[in-house]
Amino acid sequence: MTLTPRAVLVHRRTELQELLERHGTRGQAAFFLETRGRQIDDVTARHQAVEAATAAAASAVPAAWRRGLVERADLPRFLFAPDDIIVAVGQDGLVANIAKYLGGQIVIGINPEPARNPGVLVPHPPNAAAALLATAAGPRSGDHVERRTMVEAVTDDGQRLTALNEIYIGQASHQTARYTLTLPDGRAEPQASSGLIVSTGTGATGWCRSAWLERKSTLILPTPEEQRLSWFVREAWPSPATGAALTEGDLASGQSLSVITESGQLVLFGDGIETDAIPLTWGQAASVRLAPQTLRLLR
């Protein structure tokens, strides 16, 4: 017997929920905000908008469907099924948080606060959820899917990390990192820098773009669905033992960038989530390349 589809709603705690958890009561939270020139009514209004959007998305799930609900902090412990339809209710960053745990499932992004969120990855209003779920479960769902490129890093001891925006390798403190960088064409250079960013087309509007603008780079940054990555070395420092010649470039399909650690310990993390980092010890190597999977975002 074929199972009915399962809609998995993914959300994150609102600022109000975090304040109440930290301060215990609404009055204490209000006092804390007032000492910083803010009002709890503003935080409450945002909380209510998110709650209303989540409720609207949940009520749009057909009665016969199975359903799941997961908070962002629980994503590492949640098991997504291959045929799940993911409904992300929140900011664009929530979709990036989800992407690394998926294996081709369709994602629907719901924007509860269009006045605050750009809506690049959560482009849909809550009242569109029913129609979007029907499309995602339909036979022609692939016609409406945007396949966004992802990036992956693999260490020499088999650890793997994927990201939607970018992968960073450097010091956890963002101080000087020492390593040897090897390009796909075999050129290599010992470097001392503030770290290395390898970005997808989705990440090309964020951290990667700041590096691109700062150095007035002539590289053409990738588009979200393009099978190409751009990489930048941040603040490379030339010295008798280190160089600054290999500081930017592209990675096409089948190519990888290799980093061998020459500091006491570096970290490797994706999409700015430093709490989910892979430590790289002295002499350890990591390769960064296009990920085999893509984010399938419903448009």
Q: Where are the domains of the chain?
A: 6-138, 149-292
3-state SS string for 223-292: CCCCCEEEEEECCCCCCCCCCCCCCEEEEECCCEEEEEECCCEEEEEECCCHHHCEEEECCCEEEEEEEE
pLDDT for the residue 2? 64
pLDDT band at 275 (very low <50, low <70, confident <90, very high): confident
Cα 24 to Cα 31: distance, rounded to the nearest angstrom: 12
pTM, two decimal places = 0.91
CATH node for 6-138: 3.40.50
Q: Does domain 149-292 have CATH number 2.60.200.30?
A: yes
Is the pLDDT confidence value at 175 over 80? yes
- 6-138 and 149-292 in the same fold: no
Cα 256 to Cα 169: distance, rounded to the nearest angstrom: 14
Q: What is the mean pLDDT of the chain?
A: 95
Q: Which residues contact 203 (CB under 8 A, 6 or more apart)?
A: 151, 163, 164, 165, 166, 271
Q: Contact at 8 Å (CB) between 217 and 248?
A: yes
Task: Give the residue-averaged pLDDT of 283-287.
Answer: 97
pLDDT for the residue 181? 98
Q: pLDDT per residue over 187-237, tens digit each?
A: 999 999 999 999 999 999 989 999 999 989 999 999 999 999 999 999 999
pLDDT for the residue 33? 94
pLDDT for the residue 276? 87
Q: pLDDT per residue over 228-266, tens digit each?
A: 999 999 999 999 999 999 999 999 999 999 999 998 889
Is the pLDDT confidence value at 142 over 60? yes
Task: Name the one residue in this structure whose structure tokens are 């956890």.
Answer: 172
Is the pLDDT confidence value at 169 over 70? yes
Token duo for residue 283: 């002499």
Q: What share of the chain is helix, strand, coil (3-state, %, to 5)?
A: 30, 35, 40
Is the pLDDT confidence value at 1 over 90? no
Is the pLDDT confidence value at 174 over 80? no
Number of other residues whose CB lies within 10 A of the CB of residue 203 = 29
Cα 275 to Cα 290: distance, rounded to the nearest angstrom: 23
pLDDT band at 274 (very low <50, low <70, confident <90, very high): confident
Cα 162 to Cα 259: distance, rounded to the nearest angstrom: 16
Is the pLDDT confidence value at 178 over 70? yes
